[in-house]
Amino acid sequence: MAFMETLLSLISLLSSTLQLHAVVEGPKPITLSLIHPFSPHSPFYPGNITDMEKIDILIQGTNTRMHHLFSTMRERNWNGSSEVDDIVATVQKASFYFVAQVGIGSFPPFPGRKGIPYLLMIDTGSELTWVQCEGCDPCFPLQQPNFPYNRSQSYKPIPCGDPTCPTPNQDCYQSYCGFRISYGEDPPASTAGAIVREALTFPSDFRGTESYNNLFLGCGFKSYHYEFRQPNKIGGILGLGFGAGTLPFLNQVGKRRFSYCLSNSEHTNSQLYIGGAKMVGPQVLSTPLLRGLNEALYYLDLQDISIQNIRLRLQGSFSGGSTIDSGCPITTLHPNVYARVRIGFVQYFAQFHLQPYDSGSRPGDLPMLDLCFPNPSGFNRYLPTMTFHFRGADLVVKRAGMFSVGKYICVLLRSGPVTTIGAFQQTQHKFSYDFELGERRQDEIGALRFAPQDCGSPT
């Protein structure tokens, strides 16, 4: 079914295409191969499940993500401060997240060994990179041994109170620089531990590896309430969130941009580039990346939404800000915005004498989505587009990224506490988060550049 071909995969940044032309940056980029969560090679692989069950996994992940983000923002508003008491990483129960392999540490008897490989979940909403370490108690189950930090030649502890500790507001972990992470479920999953300096190793463009020494790494020693699918291969988090201090990964490795492309197939190669070429070309659009309530997230100035080129006139409806988040599977809209968008889709489908299922007519095998319609034969060609109108740029969502099409047609949108452009609606575009300095307004931290692109390459 079409839905089976519209799940997400991050693939390599193409150095040149007919659509995009690259200007080479000096330092070589970090290249991370990513595994699609529904691929048989993924530690999240859910097995042979139905299309409807896959949609429900997407929805579960979206609900958990929204709960996490909303809880974090509410806590920061409550204390009235911009200081972050907890570093919040996205470690979620739903099985729909991308992972990358990273080498951690260096070990004798092979001096300079490129680290033990661990699978880390990619999170654009977290500043902290961490791995579960040997000696943890309690721990979440991990198929491979926990990271043996004491045997790593590149391991350097940071004493409690040391001025180089990147989390000065955190409680110390025993006698070391400490961290605590959690997310807003009941009960919350959480990890506490020490922040150390370590070597991380990544693949390079030339089939080799590149190591970065003395990076901040969280060593997790106490973890509670994680429910990873067993056997679990996920060792921790790779945080790609924004931040101005010394902790964010991008700041540590000296990169000013990262880019990805979300494929419409789970059967493709996928890569994420940290650094690399500036994205330019005749089809490239740009909109500012903004500061927002959650300091680690990327905010956009969303001004309106169109359905099949008809504006919904939503100006002024996004005063709380809108984010773009590859860690959120499905786009969520603030309730007032969602209600208007829902009416727009109902009016469009009514032209074809199609009405959404309500509680009285709802089939038992529908996914947990609010807006689903019958699917007459041959209707695929009439599916509408949806456009997000940002400041200075319009993102036209591909139909394959907007609908689950099979026995039913379901609009892949949810009502939620915040408006977030999710990964599913980013398919078949290349996105570049660029933080190069230049002329910008006070609220701007960089630019999001994007253009349509065929993101897939066969595995």
Domain chopping of the chain, boundaries: 2-274, 279-452
Per-residue pLDDT tens digits for 392-407: 999 999 888 899 888 8
The more confident residue out of 5 and 190 is 190
Range with the lowest mean pLDDT among 163-172, 174-183, 386-395?
163-172
Structure tokens at 210: 């590149």
Q: Assess whether pLDDT exceeds 50 at residue 337.
A: yes
Burial of 406 (0-12, 13-18, 19+ CB in 10 A): middle
E strands, 36-98, are none
Architecture of domain 2-274: Beta Barrel (2.40)
The pairing of strands 234-239 and 310-311 is unpaired
Q: Assess whether pLDDT exceeds 60 at residue 213.
A: yes
User: What is the model's pLDDT at position 37?
Assistant: 53
Torsion angles phi and psi, residue 268, rounded to 5: -135, 160
The pairing of strands 310-311 and 99-104 is unpaired
Query: Which is nearest to 23 in space by CA: 356, 291, 279?
Result: 279
Q: What is the mean pLDDT of residues 99-110?
A: 85
pTM for this structure?
0.78
Three-state secondary-structure class, residue 255? coil
User: What is the model's pLDDT at position 38?
Assistant: 55
* Residue 315 to residue 308: CA distance in whole angstroms: 18
Q: Assess whether pLDDT exceeds 60 at residue 456.
A: yes
* Residue 295 to residue 303: CA distance in whole angstroms: 21
User: What is the model's pLDDT at position 64?
Assistant: 53
Q: What distance, in Å, lies between the first and last C-alpha atoms of the chain?
A: 20
Q: What is the mean pLDDT of residues 373-394?
A: 95
E strands, 41-168, are 99-104, 116-123, 130-132, 156-157
H/E stretch holding 302: strand 302-307
What is the fold of 279-452? Answer: Cathepsin D, subunit A; domain 1 (2.40.70)
Highest mean pLDDT among 67-81, 173-187, 198-212, 416-430: 416-430
Query: Which is nearest to 375 in space by CA: 389, 391, 363, 360?
Result: 363
Torsion angles phi and psi, residue 89, rounded to 5: -105, 150
Q: Assess whether pLDDT exceeds 90 at residue 214.
A: yes
Q: Assess whether pLDDT exceeds 90 at residue 217.
A: yes
Range with the lowest mean pLDDT among 26-30, 185-189, 413-417, 448-452?
26-30
Q: Assess whether pLDDT exceeds 90 at residue 95.
A: no
Whether the domain at 2-274 and the domain at 279-452 fall into the same CATH topology? yes
Q: Assess whether pLDDT exceeds 60 at residue 171.
A: yes
Per-residue pLDDT tens digits for 305-333: 999 999 999 988 998 789 998 778 889 99
